Amino acid sequence: MADSKGHQNLESNSDNRPLTPHMKITGVKINYYHICHTKLWLFSHNIALEHEHENVNIGKQLHEERYTRNKKEVTIDNTISIDFVKQHNGVMELHEIKKTKKMEDAHLRQMLYYLYYLRKRGIEARGVMNYPLLNQTKDVELTPEEEKNIEDDIRGIEQIVTGRMPHPKRIRICPKCAYFEFCFCGEGSED
């Protein structure tokens, strides 16, 4: 059933039943949901203009230079993709490597989704964000409150993806986004 805006009505989880997404929710979608809803919509509709940006290459290089002794990237169900996984005191640790903290919130939400995804499949884990250029790490724990927030994210993503494309709103990262020409063709970059 759809509402007046054509959005699908999503089932409530207020009685603590497991949330059953109506579409595949990948870690990338969670990330884009916290960066730009237009980007989320375009990506989810397979409008693929993404190309390898220099930052991506730097990220790969960081991974290769600093973490070669650890396991390689782990992909589960073609849905979540973790930079590397370790066991620490008998607990599974998911590690993500980031160059900066500019997108920290989106990166943390993505990690929380990984923890949520595994918990729903009976696997308890904890997360560690690695910022090698800053010489910092940050532990990430899926609390009951964060679990609820992730379920809100899932509902929000479904609302956006099943609706019309959100109108592009220019934000700081736009000039570096692969969809920039698509969103703002003819406007040019201000940066």
Residues that bind ligand SF4 (CB under 6 A): 36, 38-39, 168-169, 171, 173-174, 177, 179-180, 183
Q: Considering the complex, what minimum distance in angstroms separates the CB of residue 51 from ligand SF4? A: 13
Q: Considering the complex, what minimum distance in angstroms separates the CB of residue 190 from ligand SF4? A: 12
Nearer to ligand SF4, 35 or 92 (CB): 35
Cα–Cα distance list, 13 to 8, 19, 98, 110, 152 (Å): 15, 6, 33, 21, 10
Q: Considering the complex, what minimum distance in angstroms separates the CB of residue 179 from ligand SF4? A: 4
Nearer to ligand SF4, 45 or 66 (CB): 45
Nearer to ligand SF4, 113 or 179 (CB): 179
Q: Considering the complex, what minimum distance in angstroms separates the CB of residue 168 from ligand SF4? A: 4
Q: Considering the complex, what minimum distance in angstroms separates the CB of residue 84 from ligand SF4? A: 28
CA geometry: angle 21, 169, 153, nearest 5 deg: 20
Nearer to ligand SF4, 39 or 95 (CB): 39
Nearer to ligand SF4, 121 or 172 (CB): 172
